[in-house]
């Protein structure tokens, strides 16, 4: 969600873990940023859920 609107909606059939979360980001984050006409440098904010803070997601 951003001031211009909402990004791509993703339905999840599996249990969400760090790998599923990472794949969602890889497959959808750039597309959503483009759809919302965000600048190249933008802040992506998440909470401290372990899957959001896992090492594989942060690198």
Q: Please give the pLDDT value at position 18.
A: 95
Domain for residue 30, yes or no? yes
Q: What is the pTM of this model?
A: 0.75
Q: Please give the pLDDT value at position 19.
A: 94
With beta carbons less than 8 A apart as the criterion, state whether 2 and 38 touch.
yes
Domain for residue 33, yes or no? yes
In whole angstroms, give the CA distance from residue 52 to residue 58: 8
In whole angstroms, give the CA distance from residue 38 to residue 24: 19
Helix (H, G, I), strand (E, B) or coil at 2: strand
Tens place of pLDDT for every residue, the chain, 59 residues? 566 777 788 899 989 999 999 999 999 888 888 888 887 777 777 888 999 899 988 87
Q: Please give the pLDDT value at position 4.
A: 76
Q: Please give the pLDDT value at position 23.
A: 92
- Count of the separate structural domains present in the chain: 1
Q: Domain limits at 41?
A: 9-53
């Amino acid at each position: 969600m951003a001031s211009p609107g909402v990004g791509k909606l993703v339905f999840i059939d599996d249990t969400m873990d760090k790998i599923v979360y990472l794949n969602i980001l890889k497959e959808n984050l750039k597309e959503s940023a483009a759809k919302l006409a965000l600048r190249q440098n933008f802040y992506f904010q998440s909470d401290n859920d372990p899957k959001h803070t896992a090492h594989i997601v942060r690198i």
